[in-house]
Amino acid sequence: MPDMARAVTPARLCLLLSLLMLMLAGQGLTQQVSLQDGLQALLPVSAEAGSGVVVTHYSWWPRLFIALLAGAGLALAGVLMQQVLRNPLAAPTTLGVASGANLGLMAATLLAPGLLVMGREWVALASGGLAMGVVFLLAWQRGLAPMVVVLAGLVVNLYCGALAMVLLLFHQEALSGLLIWSAGSLAQSGWDGVIFLWPRLLIGALLAALILKPLSVLALEDSNARALGVSLKYLRLVSLALAVFVTACVVSVVGIIGFIGLAAPAIVRLAGARRLGPRLVWSSLLGALLLAVTDLLLQRFAGALPTLIPTGATTAALGAPLLLWLIPRLGLGAGRPATAAALPVRRATPALPAILSAALLAATALALLSGQNAEGWQWLPGAGDAAMIQWRAPRLLAAAAAGVLLALAGTLIQRVTGNPMASPEVLGVSGGTAIALILAILLIPGAGQWTLIGIGTLGALTTLGVLIALNGRSGFLPERLLLSGVAITALFDAVRHFILAGGDPRGQQIIAWMSGSTYYVDLPTALIIIALALLFGLATLPLSRWLDLLPLGTPTARALGVNTRYARLVLLGLVALFTACATLVVGPLSFVGLLAPHMARLLGFSRARWHLLGAALLGALLMIVADWLGRQLLFPDEIPAGLVASLLGGAWFMWGLRRL
């Protein structure tokens, strides 16, 4: 770090980027008009002006300004959030603001179009604020403790995302315009956006300056800060609300541009800015420049393509490798006590596994024997049409197997990393598999199932390889691993947004698969996957000693004779394997992997062996019920099991979190 700090300062970085931006901007401008005309186009143009001047006035200039404003706003919000949550992963998108706004706009488009006429930005602002309000509400009891806020934000994010997916699944045509927005396009057709954004950002910046001093105190531990006489709850509330306001303003105008808010503050901190004031200033500048440069490059090189390349998705795609590069350089404390251990734990009653098993059996019977057809509800013992079993059995088995696999993977990764936010999805294995599969669907027309499975496996292995290559040297430190996963997941999001924004009718197929459906499973696949799930389940039991010791922290585990490096490598390999198997079958939506271990823990399964068992039972139960409900609720339309699981589980989880 010290040698880097000397060579790279925030000021030098910004200077370099400004030069690059000026060069690109000059080039871009003179491509259309002469430099003089271009500069004059900043002022209102007459109706007789040539088309080059008109484009420059109504589109090129506003786009440059909006890029600068949006980048600055997101970075400002990012710094505030990271400061409040003391978490380098916190970003404007982490707290559910973006996904809440997204969901709100979708719902308004379909249900109350009148609201959109009043102004999209207000709908986005209200729904983003509402999502954030839910996060606050969930975390209020715990005094808005950073970890709880992040967790609540994550759950609200997933929840909004799942609901948005349901809407998207059924109304792809009606929402196609919104997909462009949610991929983050900076294209402008007038000055309205800029006029909307700049006064609001100015207010945000002024308010940030006002609370600068008490905010600096937040970097200290809670008890120290309290000793200094700062009301933590209200300070956190005010600064988070400010960050959300700024985010919602930006998001409502240009859509979701997630990465800037994470990257700009991180880079500035790496470049040596320590105190909050300079970090705010330089991050905002850097965020503005990063977004503007990306957008200028994009305009220059992507103009000839038949499809739109949204800037927001591009920053995410470009940002992912950057984040991977940044991770080893971020000063992340390794020895922080595991937050998971702080959660209150009840003792499990011995009857609990038996109760869960009985519930599992009941759910299986329900899912196999009941269903609807053109004449309404059918109960198999009565109707006698046993042929239906051939359609139901594979789905039931696949749902159960996926639930078990994801629950095991989730339990392993939460114990290995000592992080309750960890899930297979966060590790990026689901994302990597999904990228490979999406590309296969798009590039190989009419690809068969086995081709897809092969390509998906390849994607999972590649992701795993990247994870091992990046983290091998550090001994698989939990935080770094999670960050790598976040980067890969961001890449996946980018790919998804590119495809959806392009309006390709094949998007429907991809959405259907991505939302975690058991639809595509046939009987042989289902049998293989359930056999694998049972086998893997048994294989993890001998590892429970590692799982009991690793959450105690590396030094403790080592002192007790665990080769932590080796143990982590083995366990992570298993996580990747489980996740890849489950993803290939039911898509990348693995909320169950986050949820089942949590539920198991809250129910009182605390020792590793029992934790694994409880999570596996819960995972299977959750997925079976979700799959059955999804097939019946909107018959004949089917809601994918992954989405239903997210909605059911998310609700339960929020309730549990409130009680914590």
Site for other proteins in 449-468 (CB under 8 A): 449, 452
DSSP 8-class letter at 60: I
In the complex, the smallest distance separating the C-beta of residue 201 from other proteins, rounded to whole angstroms, is 20
Binding of residue 655 to other proteins (CB under 8 A): no
Within residues 414-433, the interface with other proteins by CB under 8 A covers none
Query: Is the CB of 154 or the CB of 169 nearer to other proteins?
Result: 169
Cα 366 to Cα 378: distance, rounded to the nearest angstrom = 11
The single residue among 228, 374, 386, 538 that binds other proteins, judged by CB under 8 A, is 374
| Whether the bond into 640 is cis, omega within 30 of 0 | no
Q: Helix (H, G, I), strand (E, B), or coil: what is residue 553? A: coil
Options 223-231, 462-470, 502-510, 567-575: segment touching other proteins (CB under 8 A): 502-510
Q: Which two tokens stand for residue 507?
A: 């998007």
Binding of residue 100 to other proteins (CB under 8 A): no
Within residues 217-246, the interface with other proteins by CB under 8 A covers none
Rg (CA), the chain: 25
Binding of residue 497 to other proteins (CB under 8 A): no
Query: Is the CB of 111 or the CB of 362 nearer to other proteins?
Result: 111
The single residue among 501, 529, 580, 582 that binds other proteins, judged by CB under 8 A, is 501
Q: Which two tokens stand for residue 114?
A: 């009148």
Binding of residue 555 to other proteins (CB under 8 A): no
In the complex, the smallest distance separating the C-beta of residue 40 from other proteins, rounded to whole angstroms, is 16
In the complex, the smallest distance separating the C-beta of residue 55 from other proteins, rounded to whole angstroms, is 5
Within residues 57-96, the interface with other proteins by CB under 8 A covers 57-60
Asked if 579 contacts 422 with a C-beta cutoff of 8 angstroms, the reply is no
CA-based diameter of the chain, in Å?
84
Binding of residue 170 to other proteins (CB under 8 A): yes
In the complex, the smallest distance separating the C-beta of residue 196 from other proteins, rounded to whole angstroms, is 12
The single residue among 86, 142, 171, 565 that binds other proteins, judged by CB under 8 A, is 171
Cα 443 to Cα 445: distance, rounded to the nearest angstrom = 6
Q: Which two tokens stand for residue 295?
A: 């957008």
Within residues 334-353, the interface with other proteins by CB under 8 A covers none
Site size with other proteins, rule: CB under 8 A? 75
Cα 437 to Cα 450: distance, rounded to the nearest angstrom = 11
DSSP 8-class letter at 635: T
> What number of CA atoms fall less than 13 Å from residue 635's CA on the CB side?
15
**Adjacent-strand bridge partners of 378:** 371
Binding of residue 180 to other proteins (CB under 8 A): yes
Asked if 45 contacts 53 with a C-beta cutoff of 8 angstroms, the reply is yes
The single residue among 87, 176, 462, 544 that binds other proteins, judged by CB under 8 A, is 176
Helices (H), 370-448: 380-383, 389-417, 424-427, 429-443
Cα 374 to Cα 367: distance, rounded to the nearest angstrom = 18
Query: Is the CB of 335 or the CB of 384 nearer to other proteins?
Result: 384
Residues 6 or more apart from 42 whose CB is under 8 A from it? 57, 61
Asked if 610 contacts 617 with a C-beta cutoff of 8 angstroms, the reply is no
Token pair 């954030």 is found at 132
The single residue among 388, 439, 527, 528 that binds other proteins, judged by CB under 8 A, is 388
Binding of residue 1 to other proteins (CB under 8 A): no
Binding of residue 526 to other proteins (CB under 8 A): no
Q: Residues 291-310: x/- map of binding to other proteins (CB under 8 A)?
A: -------------xxxxx--
The single residue among 34, 372, 556, 563 that binds other proteins, judged by CB under 8 A, is 372
Asked if 619 contacts 407 with a C-beta cutoff of 8 angstroms, the reply is yes
Binding of residue 107 to other proteins (CB under 8 A): no
**E strand or H helix that includes residue 372:** strand 370-373
Query: Is the CB of 510 or the CB of 603 nearer to other proteins?
Result: 510
Q: Which two tokens stand for residue 461?
A: 């292995």
The single residue among 38, 71, 502, 649 that binds other proteins, judged by CB under 8 A, is 502
Query: Is the CB of 129 or the CB of 371 nearer to other proteins?
Result: 371
Query: Is the CB of 391 or the CB of 655 nearer to other proteins?
Result: 391
The single residue among 282, 519, 536, 653 that binds other proteins, judged by CB under 8 A, is 519
The single residue among 117, 206, 535, 538 that binds other proteins, judged by CB under 8 A, is 117
Cα 356 to Cα 617: distance, rounded to the nearest angstrom = 7
In the complex, the smallest distance separating the C-beta of residue 463 from other proteins, rounded to whole angstroms, is 23
**Adjacent-strand bridge partners of 370:** 379
b/e burial code for range 203-215 (CB count within 10 A of at least 16 → b): ebbebbeebeebb
Within residues 620-639, the interface with other proteins by CB under 8 A covers 631, 635-638
Binding of residue 371 to other proteins (CB under 8 A): yes
